[in-house]
Structure 1
Amino acid sequence: MNINKNEVLRYLGYKNQPIDENLNELIDSCIDEIKEISDPRYICNIFDVKVFENEVQLSNTNLTLRGRDITNHLRNSKKCAVLASTLGVKVDNRIGYLERVDMTRALILDACATEAIESICNEVEDGIREPARKEGLDINYRYSPGYGDLPIDVQPHILNVLNAEKK
């Protein structure tokens, strides 16, 4: 798992201001901690899609993605890769604990976790790109529940369709 420190700094709102040595060491320590406690996993399936006016149906599932933004995003799509990923419960538990005892470290650890999960998703996306091209397809950018008008409460339905809890 790659954690790009420049991306961590971007998530923290860094704008090229000086960083003192203590903060720099804390960021490095948090990057190391995320690598140590993470148990990265993902699942991805590709579904044929039917795009309607304000909804996208994933073929052979009961999942419908509703909203004009996701419809516009997938308007010209024949297929949709659906991905779920996690760094594992230890990361969430550690951040939760730190939010009570060391908010600075919690914030930095959260930024490191964000970059770590993005890195994993980028790797999965890279793995999808070449097979898609072989089928004469291209891939769009990732789109997640909570973006635009795609409700975040669709997440459990996505996990169910992917059978993520068991796999």
Structure 2
Amino acid sequence: MYLDREEALGYLGYGKQKLDGDLEARFAALALECEKTLSPAYSWAAFAVERIVPDGECPGVDLAGTSARLVGESMAAHMKGACGVAVLSCTAGMDSERAIARYQATSPTDALFYNACAAALVEACANRVEAEVVLRANEVGLHTNWRFSPGYGDAPLSMQPDLLCALGAPGRLAVTCTDSFLLVPSKSITAVVGLFEPGVCATGVRRSCTTCSLGQVCMIRKQGRICHG
């Protein structure tokens, strides 16, 4: 799996700025190290929507067959009209944590570079998983919106444990939560993607392949098809 170097540099605060020669070489070496030594893992599953509560005291989305609840008005709005929800999680694994700790002890600069590269790598994994969800949905006549993670809008991080539990992620991926709902390993992601019946207008639908973040990993485009109208 390959990480987006520009995205990693963006995490470091570099826009169109160039790293100088020595820093550029070190960054390139650490990016390559991430790609060669880390093996991101993932899991996802689809659940039917039991009900959507758009507002009031407890807005959110209840998923059938699980105790997981997608909390918040922004989450309810994102899933408006959805017949199902795909829950996903991916992680760069504990090897990333050990490497970050090692570089923090030897070189703060290398630690920053490695941290950003590992974050970009797990983001690449999330893109690939989302692309898989889009493909599977398309194969059964559904369409999707884009992934939405706890922490976006008013969706609280406190839903993380239930999402992990619904996927069996602690056992399958060795991904857990701290008491403050941060993921461990830190280079991990949870997210949800809405699944919609034909003809249902969804929030956050991809309108153009040219602006879609999944362009590099889209399996539908490789088949000469598109997932949007």
Fold similarity call, TM over 0.5: yes
Q: Deviations over 1:71-113 (max 9, x none)?
A: 1111121111100111110101221332343221111111111
Match of 1:10 in 2: 10
Match of 1:125 in 2: 130
RMSD: 1.5
Q: Deviations over 1:28-55 (max 9, x none)?
A: 1111221233131100001111212211
For residues 5 and 164 of structure 2, what CA distance do their matches in structure 1 show?
Answer: 30
> Contact 2:42/2:89 (CA < 8 Å) preserved in 1?
yes
Select the structure with the greater relative contact order (CA < 8 A; seq sep ≥ 6).
1
For residues 18 and 31 of structure 2, what CA distance do their matches in structure 1 show?
Answer: 19
SS in 1 for 2:169: coil
- Residue 130 of structure 1 deviates from its aligned partner by 2.2
For residues 159 and 37 of structure 2, what CA distance do their matches in structure 1 show?
Answer: 28
For residues 148 and 99 of structure 1, what CA distance do their matches in structure 2 show?
Answer: 32
* Count of residue correspondences: 167
- Paired residue type of 1:122: N
> Quick check: which one's helix share is greater?
1
Q: Where does the alignment leave 5 or more consecutive residues of structure 1 unmatched?
A: none
For residues 8 and 156 of structure 2, what CA distance do their matches in structure 1 show?
Answer: 27
Matches within 5 A, 1:9-158: 9-49=9-49, 50-53=51-54, 54-158=59-163
> Contact 2:100/2:115 (CA < 8 Å) preserved in 1?
yes
- Residue 27 of structure 1 deviates from its aligned partner by 0.9
TM-score by length of structure 2 reads 0.68
Match of 1:161 in 2: 166
Q: Where does the alignment leave 5 or more consecutive residues of structure 2 unmatched?
A: 173-229
For residues 140 and 157 of structure 2, what CA distance do their matches in structure 1 show?
Answer: 31
> Contact 2:69/2:162 (CA < 8 Å) preserved in 1?
no
TM-score by length of structure 1 reads 0.92
- How has the CA–CA distance of structure 1 residues 67 and 44 changed in structure 2, closer, same or farther, with 3 Å as cutoff? same
- Paired residue type of 2:39: D
- Paired residue type of 2:94: V
SS in 2 for 1:166: helix
Q: Deviations over 1:112-159 (max 9, x none)?
A: 111111111111111121221233322111111111211112212211
Which 10-residue stretch deviates more, 45-54 or 130-139?
130-139
- Paired residue type of 1:132: A
